[in-house]
Chain A
Amino acid sequence: MDASQRKKYWRENLKYLAILLAIWFVVSYGFGILLVDELNAIRLGGFKLGFWFAQQGSIYVFVVLIFVYVQLMNKLDKKYDVNE
C-alpha cells in the first residue's frame, strides 16, 4: 500500500470516528446531561425522555455505535485491501 493510499484510508477512518463520536457525545452528554431538563418535558411511555437517555438510551446507543464501527471498518479494510 503506497503513501497516498494510506493517507486516504486514514482520512476515511477519521471521518467515521468524527461522526460516531459526535453521536456518542450527543446521546450521553447532550441528551442525558446538558439537555436533560428540556427533554424531560417529553414522555416515552412511563419515562421522561432525558432520564431515559441518561439511564437506558445512551447505553443502547453506545453498543450500536461499536457494532456500526466494526461494520464500517471491515468494509473499509476490504476496500483498501488491508483486511485479514
Chain B
Amino acid sequence: MGIQTWTFIIVGLTFALYIGIAIWSRASSTKEFYVAGGGVSPLANGLATAADWMSAASFLGMAGIIAFSGYDGSVYLMGWTGGYVLLALLLAPYLRKFGKFTVPDFIGDRYYSNLARTVAVVAALFVSFTYVAGQMRGVGVVFSRFLDVEVNTGVYIGMAVVLFYAFLGGMKGITYTQVAQYCVLIFAFMVPAIFISLMATGNPIPQLGMGSAGSDGVYLLDKLDGLMTDLGFTAYTDGTKSTTDIFFITAALMLGTAGLPHVIIRFFTVPKVKDARKSAGYALLFIAILYTTAPAIAVFARTNLMETVQDTPYKEIPDWFTKWEETGLIAWTDKNGDGKIQYLPGSAVEGKKPMFSEARGAVGQRLITNASATRNELYVDRDITVLANPEIAGLPNWIIALVAAGGLAAALSTAAGLLLVISTSISHDLIKKQFAPNISDKRELLIARVSSLFAVVVAGYFGINPPGFVASVVALAFGLAASSFFPAIVMGIFSKRMNREGAITGMIAGLAITSYYIARFKLGWIGNPETSTETHWWFGISPEGFGTVGMLVNFVIAIVISRFTAPPPAEVQEIVENIRIPSGAGDAVQH
C-alpha cells in the first residue's frame, strides 16, 4: 500500500480512538470539566502532561533545530526539561494542596485581591492565546504535508477534533486522550530513531549511538566536527552563541515552563500532594525519552546530510533528495556551474525561503530566483530532519504514516490543553469569580463548554490568519510566564510576608519590561528599527532570554514594595501555613 493510503488508515484509526475516549469520559460536573474530578492517577497524569507539553514543534521541529545549531540547541533541551524540576520541587505539591481549579484562583486568594486575580487572568489568556495560535497552524501544516489538503482545511479538521473532546469531556476527556496521544507520538518518534541509530552505529539505543563510532571506527561526533570545520562551519559541539546568552535563554525557558498555566493545572488533577510530586517525575521521564533522542537524531541527520551531498553530482543524488526538492523543502542552485552540490556556511537564498521558477536547470534541478551571494548552494528546511528520517532509513510506508499520526497527536494534545486553560479562565476566573458568583454548578459547566467553543473558534481564526508575531510566540509566551507567574507563585508559597501590593507591582513590572524588550528587539514595534539589532541588546541578552531579567525585576520590586507596605492578613498567612503541610489536600478549599 502507498504512503497516502497508510496515512489515511493510521490517522483515521487514531482519531477514532481519541473520539471514542472522549465519549467514554464525558464530564458531568465543573470539577470533572476543570480538573478531571481530581482523580487521575500520577502515572496517567504524567503521560498526559508529557503529551500536553510536547507540541508539533517538539515532535517535528526540535531535532532539526539542534541538527542545524549544534551545541546552541542545548538551550531547548535543558530549558524545556529543567523547568520540571522547579515545578516538582517548588510549585506542584503546594498548588495541589491549595486545591482550587486555576492559577488565577491561587493568585487571587493568596494575594486577597481581585486586581491580582485579574492581572493573572489577563496574563494567562495572553500566554495561552499566543501559544495556541502556533499550535493550530501546526495542525494545519501537518495535515497539508501528509494528507495533501490545504493548510486551512487542515486547521478546520483539527478544530473539529479538538472541539469534540474538549467540549464533551473538558479536562477529563483531554487527559485520557492525551494518554493515548503520548503513546502514539513516542512510538512514532522512537521507531525511526532506533533504525537510524542501528544503521549509523550498530547500536539500537539512539542516546548511546550518538556517542558511538560508525563503521569506519571514527566517533560520530568527531567525524561531524571534522566535516563541519573543514568546510568553514563552527564545530558542531561548539556553537556560536555567547555563554551569557545561552545562560539567560536556558533560564528563561526553564522558568517559563514552570510558569505556564496549561502545565501547572495538570497537577490539580491528581488526588493527593504526594501524587503531584510523583506525577511531575513521571512527566519528566516521559518527556526525557523524546528530548534525549532528539539530539541523537540531530547528529545522525546532520552527518548523513553532510556526507551524502558534499561535492556529489546532482545526477547521482539519492531519491529522497529530489523528492523533498519537489516539495520545496530542499533547494539547490548550482552557483559555480560544476553540477555538484556544495554545502557551505551562510544562507543559499536571499530571505527565508527559496522562490522557485517553473524552469529546470541543466541537470534537471528546480531553479530558484532568489539565490544569495554566498558560495553555499544548498537550502534545507530544518523540519525535514524528522520528516525525511524514515525514508532515508528505508523504512516501510506504514512507519512514515505513523510519523504523520505522531505529529498530529503532538499538535492536537498541546492545543487541547491550552484551549482548556482559555475556557476555564473565561468561565471560572472571569464569569464565576468576577461577575456571577452565585451561578449553579450546572450553569457554570454550560458556560465552560460555550467558552471552549469560543476558544476553539478564536484559536482557529489565528491558525488561519496567523498574526505577524506568531514566529516570536515562543519567546513571548515563555518570557511572560517566567516574568509574571513564576515569581508570584513561588513567593506566595515560600514567603509569608509577601503581600498584595508587592505581588501585583512585581507582576506588572515583570510583564511590562519583558513585553517592552520583546516589542523593541524582537518585533521592532517600538523605537528606531536600526537600533533593534543584536549589538544594542542590553548586556548581550537576546529577547528569548529576557524573561530571566523580567523574573529578577519581578522578585526585586515585589520584595522591596512588600517591605514598605502592610503584611498580609492573618487568615492569608494561615493559608500559607496550610499549603506547606501535605495532609488533608481534599479539604483545603474550606480556607
Residues of A near any B CB (own CB < 8 A):
1, 6, 9-10, 13, 17, 20-21, 24, 28-29, 32-34, 36, 40, 44-48, 51-52, 54-56, 58-60, 62-63, 65-67, 69-70, 73-74, 77, 82-84
Contact = CB atoms under 8 A, between A and B. Distances in A.
Interface residues of B, number: 49
Contacts of B584: 84
B77 A55 contact: yes
B87 to A, nearest CB: 9
Max chain A CB contacts within 10 Å: which of B74, B84, B221, B585? B74
Going nearest first, the 8 A-B pairs with the smallest beta carbon separation are: A46-B219, A54-B74, A46-B211, A66-B281, A55-B295, A82-B583, A47-B211, A51-B237
Contacts, number: 133
Interface string B222-255: 1000000000000001000001001100110000
A51 B238 CA distance: 8
Contacts of B251: 29
Interface stretch (B28-36, B270-278, B557-565): B270-278
Question: Which residue among A1, A17, A33, A44 has the maximum number of chain B CB atoms within 10 Å of its CB?
Answer: A33
Nearest to B581: A82
Given A24-B82, A66-B88, A73-B277, 6 more contacts: A21-B85, A56-B210, A58-B77, A62-B81, A74-B274, A77-B582
Of A40, A59, A65, A84, which is in contact with the most chain B CB atoms at under 10 Å from its CB? A59
Contact of A66 (B78, B85, B292): B85
Given A28-B78, A66-B84, A77-B274, A17 B89 contact: yes
B581 A17 contact: no
Contacts of B582: 73, 77, 82-84
6 contacts: A28-B250, A44-B211, A51-B71, A70-B274, A73-B93, A82-B581
Contacts of A58: 77-78, 81-82
Q: Mostly helix, strand, loop or mixed at chain B's interface?
A: helix
B477 interface: no
A29 B222 contact: no
Contacts of B280: 66
B212 interface: yes
A47 B219 CA distance: 8
Contact of A28 (B82, B274, B277): B82
Interface stretch (B100-108, B283-291, B376-384, B466-474): B283-291
Interface of B: 66, 71, 73-74, 77-78, 81-82, 84-85, 88-90, 93, 207, 210-213, 219-222, 237, 243, 246-247, 250-251, 272-274, 277-278, 280-281, 284-285, 288, 291-292, 295, 577, 580-585
B102 to A, nearest CB: 24
Nearest to A21: B89
A84 B583 contact: yes
A63 to B, nearest CB: 5
Contacts of B577: 6
A1 B274 CA distance: 18
B85 A24 contact: yes
A48 B237 CA distance: 8
B89 A29 contact: no
A7 B219 CA distance: 54
Contact of A59 (B73, B78, B93, B222): B78
B222 A46 contact: yes
Contact of B243 (A10, A34, A47): A34
Nearest to B271: A84
Contact of B85 (A10, A65, A73): A65
A17 B580 contact: no
Contacts of A6: 577, 580-581
Contact of B78 (A9, A32, A46, A47): A32
Contacts of A48: 221, 237
A1 B272 CA distance: 19
A33 B85 CA distance: 18
B581 A84 contact: no
A32 B85 contact: no
Nearest to B90: A17
A54 B78 contact: yes
A73 B274 contact: yes
Contact of B284 (A34, A44, A45, A66): A66
Nearest to A10: B580
A12 to B, nearest CB: 12
Nearest to B583: A82
Contact of B581 (A1, A32, A46, A65): A1
A14 to B, nearest CB: 8
A67 B89 CA distance: 11
B560 to A, nearest CB: 23
A20 B88 CA distance: 11
Given A6-B580, A28-B250, A59-B288, A84 B272 contact: yes
Contacts of A17: 89-90
A20 B281 CA distance: 14
A46 to B, nearest CB: 3
Contact of B237 (A24, A29, A40, A56): A40
